[in-house]
Amino acid sequence: MRYLVLVSHGTLAEGMHSVLKMLGGDSPAVRHCCLEDGMGAEAFIENFKKTIEDMNAEDEIVLMGDIQGGSPLTNAMNEIASAGMLPSTIVFAGMNLPMAMTAFMSLAAGDLADLKACLVDDARAGVTEIVLADDEDEDDL
């Protein structure tokens, strides 16, 4: 089975998971774990272990975190490695909703290499500057 696991500081991962449910429906293959304000690393690690407890080395994991080098993503990677699942895991930092949605919709299709390329493209395309018209420009029309 392929899983999408979202990790973050605060409740970002929980919020992204909520949006995925709203847009695409609930799926047991989507999980989240948050390092909430005031929570220590040990508590996060214990929660993350529960998040992945039914996964094994035959499963594939798409792990997305909010910040590269941040403790949620670093600790999640360490726990996945300890469980022997790192070879079948792809990891992304700087998650955004378009890439999470692509991962969610692609959980049952394709291989990890194709998914990885799609996710990088969607992450880049998901960041777009919206140029607002100047009020003076509108008066000139």
Cα gap 35→43, rounded to integer Å:
8
What's the CATH fold of domain 2-139? Rossmann fold (3.40.50)
Task: Give, as one character, the DSSP assignment of residue 1.
Answer: -
Half-sphere exposure of 115 (CA within 13 A, CB side): 26
Is residue 69 very low, low, confident or very high in pLDDT (cuts 50, 70, 90)?
very high
- What are the structure tokens assigned to 103, written together? 């991962």
Can you give the pLDDT at residue 65?
Answer: 97
The residue extents of the domains of the chain are 2-139
pLDDT of 139 > 90? The answer is no
Burial letters 88-113, b for 16+ CB under 10 A, else e:
bbebbeebbebbbbbbbebbeeeebe
pTM passes above 0.85: yes
The percentage of residues in the chain with a pLDDT greater than 70, rounded to a whole number, is 96
Taking a C-beta distance cutoff of 8 angstroms, is the pair 85, 59 a contact?
yes
